[in-house]
């Protein structure tokens, strides 16, 4: 958020650098600020003499307050209000589908943590996600409560499009738009009012190709991407461009991407990662795992050192399987497991 005092202190140059979208405000008000960037906005308005101010209907107090409101509304719209960012998410227990109390006291998840969600199909994993997305306050079938930064949540997470709490990445991602990868990324970057669009696009395509088994370029139509390429593109796009602080990954074990690199990318961008999975490798990559049973959280397990040792063995086994898949795709005859 920006305040009236902030506007009075910082120069127009600093204002434009921090909030590039203020160009729209200046244009709407027909204010030519190009030769006055060292001034504050108030100092700039004070340059108009009484007659000119009257002709242009300039009331300094009204104009300055309008700019404050404009900046804050834009920050809310694009979900870029860093001062109200999410450092932690806390789940307070409710009940399972039989009305029994969930078997934990509270669970706090912080930025750059990976939490896995495990349980049988239909056990209630999607309900947990829905509670987090809705920022439940004992007003869902589970009666859970969700706290943001340790406090009851601001309603903005429910009501404003720019402040979407959770970005979902599912196993099935199909594009229907007749766009190239470049056009798709440009649209998303521009909707986020990104200043260095080309730089961001290059970073996303590079990260996506680092995840995908088969490389692709910016001229590729999005409808031509394979399942693995689509998921790689969306994971990179979500990590780098999405303002959603929480990312849910739904069963990427068969996604055709480098799972470890995908998680490292998301965590590196300081996302809270919740991952529903049946894959033991992915489950043991998490810091903790939530076990869902009968529609409720049955237990929360910290990944132990012993389990991490198993993960090393599982990764070696996985390398063998991935190598065999590669050979099969090339049409080779399997003569050994190496």
pLDDT band at 116 (very low <50, low <70, confident <90, very high): very high
Query: What element of type H or E holds 92?
Result: strand 88-92
DSSP 8-state assignment for residue 253: T
* Mean pLDDT of all residues belonging to the chain: 85
Query: What element of type H or E holds 285?
Result: helix 280-285
Query: Does position 102 have pLDDT exceeding 90, yes or no?
Result: yes
Determine how β-strand 166-169 pairs with β-strand 246-250.
Answer: parallel
Share of the chain above pLDDT 70, in %: 91
**Could you give the dihedral angle defined by the CA atoms of residues 96, 101, 103 and 106, in that order, rounded to the nearest 10 degrees?**
100
Q: What is the pLDDT of residue 289?
A: 94
Cβ–Cβ < 8 Å for 267, 273: yes
CA distances from 4 to 9, 24, 42, 64, 318 (A): 9, 19, 10, 7, 57
With a CB cutoff of 8 Å and minimum separation 6, the contacts of 179 are 187, 221, 222
Residue whose structure tokens are 């409101």? 69
Q: For 213-244, write each residue's pLDDT tens digit.
A: 789 999 999 999 888 888 899 999 999 988 78
Query: Beta strands of the chain (E only): which ranges?
Result: 88-92, 107-110, 114-118, 145-148, 151-152, 166-169, 246-250, 272-276, 288-293, 296-302
Q: Which of 9-23, 166-180, 218-232, 301-315 has the lowest mean pLDDT?
A: 166-180
Closest of 285, 294, 225 to residue 249, by C-alpha: 285
Q: What is the pTM of this model?
A: 0.69
For residue 93, the Cα-to-chain-centroid distance in whole angstroms is 25
Query: Does position 299 have pLDDT exceeding 70, yes or no?
Result: yes
Cβ–Cβ < 8 Å for 315, 281: yes
Query: Does position 4 have pLDDT exceeding 80, yes or no?
Result: yes
Q: Say whether 241 sits in a helix, a strand or coil.
A: coil
For residue 162, the Cα-to-chain-centroid distance in whole angstroms is 11
If you average pLDDT over residues 175-180, what whole number do you get?
77
Q: How many CB atoms lie within 10 A of CB 14?
A: 14
User: Where along the chain do its domains lie?
Assistant: 4-78, 84-303
Q: Say whether 320 sits in a helix, a strand or coil.
A: helix
Q: What is the pLDDT of residue 198?
A: 92
Torsions phi, psi for 215 (to 5 deg): -70, 155
Query: Does position 162 have pLDDT exceeding 60, yes or no?
Result: no
Closest of 165, 185, 167, 189 to residue 175, by C-alpha: 185
The matching CATH number, chosen from 3.40.640.10, 1.10.10.410, 3.30.70.20, 3.40.50.300, for 84-303 is: 3.40.50.300
Both tokens of 215, joined, read 């490389």
Cβ–Cβ < 8 Å for 167, 247: yes
pLDDT band at 20 (very low <50, low <70, confident <90, very high): confident
If you average pLDDT over residues 114-136, what whole number do you get?
89
């Amino acid at each position: 958020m920006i305040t009236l005092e902030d506007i009075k202190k910082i120069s127009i140059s600093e204002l434009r650098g921090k909030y590039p979208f203020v160009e729209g405000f200046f244009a709407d008000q027909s204010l030519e600020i190009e030769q006055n960037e060292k001034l504050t906005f108030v100092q700039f308005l004070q340059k108009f003499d009484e007659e000119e101010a009257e002709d242009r209907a300039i009331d300094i107090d009204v104009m300055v307050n309008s700019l404050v409101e404009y900046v804050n509304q834009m920050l809310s719209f694009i979900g870029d209000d860093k001062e109200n960012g999410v450092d932690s998410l806390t789940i307070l227990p409710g009940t399972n589908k039989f009305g029994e109390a969930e078997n934990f006291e509270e669970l706090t998840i912080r930025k750059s943590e990976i939490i896995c969600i495990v349980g049988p199909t239909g056990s209630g994993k999607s309900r947990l996600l829905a509670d987090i997305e809705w920022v439940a306050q004992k007003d869902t079938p589970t009666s859970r409560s969700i706290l943001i930064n340790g406090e009851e949540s601001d309603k903005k997470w429910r009501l404003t499009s720019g402040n979407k709490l959770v970005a979902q990445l599912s196993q099935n991602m199909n594009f229907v738009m007749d766009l190239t990868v470049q056009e798709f990324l440009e649209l998303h970057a521009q909707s986020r009012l990104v200043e260095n669009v080309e730089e961001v696009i290059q970073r996303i395509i590079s990260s996506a190709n680092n995840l995908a088994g088969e490389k692709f370029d910016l001229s590729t139509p999005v409808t031509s991407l394979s399942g693995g390429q689509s998921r790689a593109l969306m994971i990179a796009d979500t990590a780098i461009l999405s303002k959603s602080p929480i990312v849910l990954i739904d069963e990427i074990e068969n996604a055709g991407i480098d799972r470890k690199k995908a998680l490292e990318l998301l965590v590196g961008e300081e996302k809270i990662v919740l991952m529903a999975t049946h894959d033991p490798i992915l489950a043991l990559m998490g810091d903790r795992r939530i076990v869902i049973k009968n529609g409720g959280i049955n237990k929360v397990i910290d990944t132990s050192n012993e389990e991490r040792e198993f993960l090393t063995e599982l990764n070696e086994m996985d390398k063998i399987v991935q190598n065999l898949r590669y050979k099969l795709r090339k049409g080779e005859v399997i003569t050994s497991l190496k």
